[in-house]
Structure 1
Amino acid sequence: MSMLSAFKRSGQGLSRGFESTSRWLDSTLEVARWENMLQAGRRWGWWGGALGAIAGVVLFAPASWLAQVVDRASGGRVLLAEAEGTVWTGSAVAVLTGGPGSRDARALPGRLGWQWRTQGLGLRLTLTQDCCLPAPMTLDLKPGWKRVGLQLGSAAPSGMPVGQWPAAWLSGLGAPWNTLQLNGQLQLHAQGLRMEWVQGRLLVDGSAQIVLRDVASRVTTLDHLGTYRLSLVGQAQSQVALDLRTQEGALQLSGSGQIGPTGLRFRGEATASDADRGALNNLLNIIGRRVGDRSVISIG
């Protein structure tokens, strides 16, 4: 009986030992699981914090960052001064300059406003400016496989210019514009203008016209030089054809050329009638190379 009692007591002791060991193992596993959950939570917390910080930087990036991008992309010739807001919604004063080191600069009146919004799988940039954009101008940016498309649009009525700027603004670019000191109006008309970069090649579809209307210059005694139209038409093989014509005026301008992979090439001439040649002589000397009564314009 004593042996049986001892065996029972021994069995009960082993049972209690197993139960104690089992509880210890469960407790240890629970602690391990809890620590793993804490570590995972901390990792997700770090990732969440990092993603939140990145999203905050992207969404609230200051407008000055966009101004720096425009400055570098234009070689310092287009500035967004006094930029306010964010990269996505903001405004600035549009300034033309002659580039780094130049003392020439000319600002447009008022402020240029911009707003980026998603448009399908791309982005739409809307530009507004009281002085120079009769209606909001839009630029649709559409990325694709090894290509990026850019399309110009406007809410302006048909036949109205997309934009119109004082010709005096060009004097900010330096020579020869600062010498010519033009007055008048620079207008942009566009019909379905679309540009696309495909594997490093620029393709242009549609057409645009740049009109210099009611031009005058301080280097001549004439009050009015004329109105001139430069047409740009997209062609095959990454070419844009250029055509310059005089619509009316004492100074006669004509020429043609193209913009292609090798750059800009243009050949033209400026002439004046016998009655106006004396008043336009200095201007003809500035515009191009004098060949008799003509001034030859050659670029590229």
Structure 2
Amino acid sequence: MAAFPRSNPAGWWAGRMAATTRWMESTLEVVRWENMRRAGRRWGWWGAAAGTVIGLLAYAPAPWLAQLVVETSQGRVLLAESSGTVWHGSAVVVLTGGRGSRDAAALPGRLNWDLGWQSGGLRLTLQQDCCVPTPLVLLVQPRWSETRLTVQPGQSGPRGAQLGHWPAAWLTGLGTPWNTLQLGGTIHLSGQQLALVWTRSGVLKMDGQATVVLDNMSSSLSTLDRLGSYRMDVQGEPQGPITLNLSTLDGALQLSGQGELGPRGMRFRGEASATPQERGALDNLLNIIGRRSGDRSVITIG
């Protein structure tokens, strides 16, 4: 009697293992493909988000910068009618008395700016036909303990490196007391190796020297067409306060004084007087700008 062939357990087991292995490999391929698809989708979302952020930064509208200036200046400086982007734009510069004030004064023409990166900080270039005809460069460098603003003037003159000049009447936009004085004349600003430093604790320091010249000043409070010209020297000390020194260049109104700008704010002591022949014309102005002491008016700030 012929015997039935007996099954091979080893071959049967090997076949089952091979089938299982093929199924597992197929499943792993599906899992790998699904993971790759999900990873690609995630990278796609990240790429879209990064592209959106880069686009917003590259084409951020100028009103964003205008709003930052308003907040930083507590509403005293406005970039009105701003156009362009944060990086390249223009606006009309307006001084105001702050939020809720009705006083405002605008400079003629538009201020143009270019903002970019340099030396680990921001490079801001300003130019305005009326007041900053030669481009003025400001380099802002944030550091761990301080933020440094370096002024790089575009042109030098007899008074040093010229930073700009502005009409004194622009100050009326700040409100009291400027809207009462109604000043006329021109304010010239120059500097030498000038840099402003804000420490982490909020203290302002200055390196270098700045000079403010008030040229051919006048006031509606006086019948004189011209009060005179004056100079304020601002000197920074590496470890000390910023010192102020006011002197008269010429004119019927004589001004002098000293002060400093330190952690507790500005402190200034000075006096104003009139030449003998013009005392009557300047009497009203002397009563307003300080505390009268005989023929003099004592000016105290801080």
Bin the TM-score by the shorter chain. Answer: over 0.9
In structure 2, how many angstroms separate the alpha carbons of the residues matched to 1:25 and 1:236?
74
Name the structure 1 match of 2:81: 82
Q: Distance in 2 between matches of 1:257 and 1:123?
A: 32
| 2:31 maps to 1:32 | yes
Letter aligned with residue 295 of structure 1: S
* Counterpart-to-counterpart distance in 2, 1:164 and 1:86: 26
8 A contact 1:238–1:261 mirrored in 2: no
Superposed, 1:208-247 pairs within 5 Å as 208-247=210-249
Deviation at 1:15?
4.7
Secondary structure at the aligned position of 2:39 is classed as helix
Q: Read off the aligned partner of 1:195 and give its amino acid letter.
A: L
> How far did 1:161 drift?
2.4
Residues 1:167 and 2:176 aligned together: no
- Letter of the 2:27 partner, please give it: T
Q: Deviations over 1:210-266 (max 9, x none)?
A: 111011122211111111111100024440000000001111000000000000000
Q: Distance in 1 between matches of 2:63 and 2:276?
A: 53
Name stretches of at least 5 consecutive residues in structure 2 with no aligned partner. none
Verify the 8 A CA contact 1:127 1:137 in the aligned structure 2: yes
For 2:226 and 2:162, the matched residues in 1 are separated by: 22
Alignment of 1:1-300 (within 5 A): 2-4=3-5, 6-7=6-7, 14-159=13-158, 161-200=162-201, 201-300=203-302
Q: Deviations over 1:139-159 (max 9, x none)?
A: 111122322211111111343
- Please give the alpha-carbon distance, in whole angstroms, between the structure 2 residues aligned to 1:240 and 1:282: 32
Contact kept in structure 2, 1:88 and 1:116, CA below 8 Å: yes
Give yes or no for contact 1:220–1:280 (8 Å, CA) kept in 2.
Answer: yes
- 8 Å CA contact 1:196, 1:202 repeated in 2: yes
TM-score, with normalisation over the residues of structure 2?
0.93
Number of matched residues?
Answer: 298
Residue pair 1:204, 1:238 contacting (<8 A) in 2 also: no
Query: Cα offset for 1:50?
Result: 2.1
Letter in 2 for 1:209: T
Q: State the alpha-carbon separation in 1 of the partners of residues 237 and 288 from structure 2.
A: 32
Q: Which amino acid aligns with 1:79?
A: L
- AA matched with 1:285: N
So what's the TM-score if we normalise by structure 1? 0.94
Which amino acid is the alignment partner of residue 196 of structure 2? M
1:108-153 Cα deviation digits (max 9, x unpaired):
0111111111112121111111110131111111122322211111
CA apart distance, 1:106: 0.3
Alpha-carbon spacing, 1:167–1:21, altered in 2? closer, same or farther (3 Å): same
Residues 153 and 162, structure 2, Cα contact 8 Å, conserved in 1 = no
**Contact kept in structure 2, 1:202 and 1:238, CA below 8 Å:** no
Residue ranges of structure 1 left out of the alignment (5+ in a row) = none
Contact residue 288 and residue 295 of structure 1 kept, 8 A = yes
Q: CA deviation at 1:80?
A: 0.7
Q: 2:177 & 2:205 partners in 1: Cα distance? A: 30
> Following TM superposition, where does structure 1 have runs of at least 4 consecutive aligned residues deviating by more than 4 angstroms?
10-16
Distance 2:180 2:273 in 1: 19
**Counterpart secondary structure, 1:276:** helix
Measured in 1, the distance between the counterparts of 2:184 and 2:119 equals 42
RMSD: 1.7
Instruction: Please give the secondary structure, in 2, of the residue aligned with 1:99.
Output: coil
Aligned-partner residue type, residue 285 of structure 2: L
Contact kept? 1:189, 1:208, Cα under 8 Å:
yes
C-alpha distance in 2 between matches for 1:211 and 1:115: 28
More off after superposition, 207-216 vs 41-50: 41-50
Cα displacement (A) at 1:12: 5.8
